[in-house]
Amino acid sequence: MADSVRKHVVPHTKAHKTLHLASPEPLGSVTPEEAQLLEKLHIKTLPRHVAVIMDGNGRWAQNRHLPRIAGHRAGTQSARTTIETCARLKIDALTLYAFSVENWRRPKTEIDFLMQLLREYLKKEMPLLQKNEIRMRFLGRVEELPAAVQKDVREAMEKTAANKGMVLCIALNYGGRAEIVDAMNRILAERNGNGASSPVTEEQLARHLYTGGLPDPDLLIRTSGEMRVSNFLLWQIAYAEIYVTETLWPDFNRARLLEAFVEYQKRERRYGGIREGEADTDKPARVAGE
Ligand code: FPP
């Protein structure tokens, strides 16, 4: 890996899977597979904002003849690994899709379990979040969540508000269409008769989204193979690179995340333009904003 990233390769053995070497930065001990992937990565062009649709918990559990909730519990370990790795690689923002507005259609026992799991997670992982200087945000209609969840969410935001590292967004009771509607209603409420006839701009709408102030995701990862965006960050992923892996979320480990970054760095981002050097004339007909 280029520049500042130093790695400490630890061979996998049956007896000793993860050795912890006294390693300063940034990922600590790595497996040979992770080391190979790190070798291919350029630290300076990592995505600024990574968004993840964590799918496949139910299938992972079913494959093991376990109840679906066992898959969700196993999924928290992948969330932990992803959060810690992104924070250590100094990615600006990570957004995890934890509960959609559509997820209320699931059985009540599963919904209750997911809410409980999130509450446990926030409590248990607070030291890790603080140690990595992570600032928490929640995207979605938080005010519709059970009161106890709302309280924990508020506390997590307050406790981490002064942190200066990665912003971790948990999308909770989140819907992309609902977000755009909420943004429009916030704009209308703010105007309250003032300037009501002036058109809403893209920039103004973006500022009023739940993600206001954050860069748009450069990379959207979806686990478990479905080719859908599932009402996730509809506005913000307009130019994102999409990476779909067959890996089920509970199996999505650090190597799989690094693999997604390597793949992302192979893509040439064009934002509607053409490849460098392919122009017939050297001046674009129109530059955005002109
Ligand atoms: C989708 O899998 C997953 C969810 C709806 C819940 C995601 C929650 C977690 C990973 C655990 C908690 C996360 C945090 C951030 C604490 P699915 O149930 O739709 O799987 P399936 O498609 O195989 O049925």
- Rounded to the nearest angstrom, the distance between the alpha carbon of 117 and the centre of ligand 1 is 11
103 is catalytic: yes
Asked if 209 and 235 touch (Cβ cutoff 8 Å), the reply is yes
Domains of the chain: 44-175+215-267 (3.40.1180.10)
Helix H or strand E encompassing 222: strand 219-222
Nearest C-alpha to atom 7 of ligand 1 is from which residue? 98
139 pLDDT band, cuts 50/70/90, is very high
Instruction: Look over the chain and give the mean of its residue pLDDT values, rounded to a whole number.
Output: 89
Which of 50, 52, 53, 57 has the most ligand 1 atoms within 8 A of CB, as the residue to mutate? 57
Torsion over CA: 256, 168, 93, 2 (sign): negative
- Rounded to the nearest angstrom, the distance between the alpha carbon of 250 and the centre of ligand 1 is 9
Instruction: Give yes or no for residue 278 having a pLDDT over 80.
Output: no
How buried is residue 113: exposed, middle or buried, by Cβ count under 10 Å (0-12/13-18/19+)?
Answer: middle
Which of 53, 59, 66, 72 has the most ligand 1 atoms within 8 A of CB, as the residue to mutate? 72
- Rounded to the nearest angstrom, the distance between the alpha carbon of 54 and the centre of ligand 1 is 6
The pLDDT tens digits for 79-93 are 999 999 999 999 999
The pLDDT tens digits for 183-203 are 999 999 988 767 667 899 999
Judge if the beta carbon of residue 125 lies within 6 A of ligand 1: no
Judge if the beta carbon of residue 58 lies within 6 A of ligand 1: yes
**Distances from the Cα of 269 to the Cαs of 169, 197, 204, 240, in angstroms?**
24, 36, 25, 9
**42: Cβ–Cβ under 8 A, 6 or more apart, which residues?**
1, 2, 265
Q: How many CB atoms lie within 10 A of CB 185?
A: 11
Residue 209: phi and psi, rounded to 5, are -75, 165
Six-digit token pair at 249? 């979320």
* Residues listed for the chain: 290
The pLDDT tens digits for 99-133 are 999 999 999 999 999 999 999 999 999 999 999 99
3 is catalytic: no
What's the pTM value of the predicted model, to 2 decimals? 0.88
Higher pLDDT, 5 or 34: 34
Which residue in 3, 57, 103, 112 is the catalytic one? Answer: 103
Residue 250: closest CA among 93, 107, 54, 32: 54
